[in-house]
Amino acid sequence: MLIPEYQQLAERDLSTPVQAANLPVVDETNAPPEVAQLYARFREVFGRPQIPGILQCFATHPPLLEHMMGLAQSMLFTEGALGRLQKEMIATAVSSRNRCAYCADSHGFFLRVHGGSPELLAAAMACNTGSPSFHPAQSALICFVQKITDDSASITSDDIEKLRAMGWTDQQIAEAIHVAALFACFNRVVNAFGLPSQDLLGIYAPKSESVAGGGNQ
């Protein structure tokens, strides 16, 4: 069964080869057998006909590609202690904070697919924790992952207690840490390879709803 965002992508022609500005990725025309098998497994598990550019970056080291596919299946593209909406909210905010246009656009699109309003998307893109689009508990969580992104060494037990007081469980807090930290990695890989934005938000919503990428705001 296709996950919801890939259902939408499967209906559109996104077959243009990925062009990374700085370092070549492993597309299907030059994929060695080990990578081709992993790409085929990705299609089978996720149902997306196109191989995302970020996976084509990880494919330069096939064991890393395999592990990242496992993370996507077990942590990112699934309901867990946090729901998909919350995970995509974190991914969008962190990616925007890290000035990663590719990931901010992709996960902003996923945020919309999983029920995020245009206003919530805009708040996440801008890391605007004062936005009324965030519930107070969501605002506290975004403040927390923003602090992880900017200065993880400054996190203290007080930060954890504040989240507990807002109703977040320890398992949810741990998952938020994992998602924020993973995107610190993903954003840097994508930016260093030079992957451009896929403009998924542009194909999801009318132009009147399109939201440009954020940054440190």
Q: What is the pLDDT of residues 34-84, one digit of tens each?
A: 999 999 999 888 887 789 999 999 999 999 999 999 999 999 999 999 999
Q: Could you tell me what percent of the chain has a pLDDT over 70?
A: 87
User: For the chain, what is the domain count?
Assistant: 1
The answer on pLDDT for 181 being more than 80 is yes
Residue 5 lies in a domain: no
Residue 74 lies in a domain: no
Q: What is the CATH number of the domain that holds 140?
A: 1.20.1290.10
Identify the domain containing residue 88 by its residue range.
Answer: 84-193
Residue 134 lies in a domain: yes
What's the chain's average pLDDT? Answer: 89
The pTM of this model reads 0.88
Residue 215 lies in a domain: no
Residue 9 lies in a domain: no
**If you average pLDDT over residues 152-176, what whole number do you get?**
98
Cα dihedral 212, 2, 40, 64, rounded to 10, equals 50
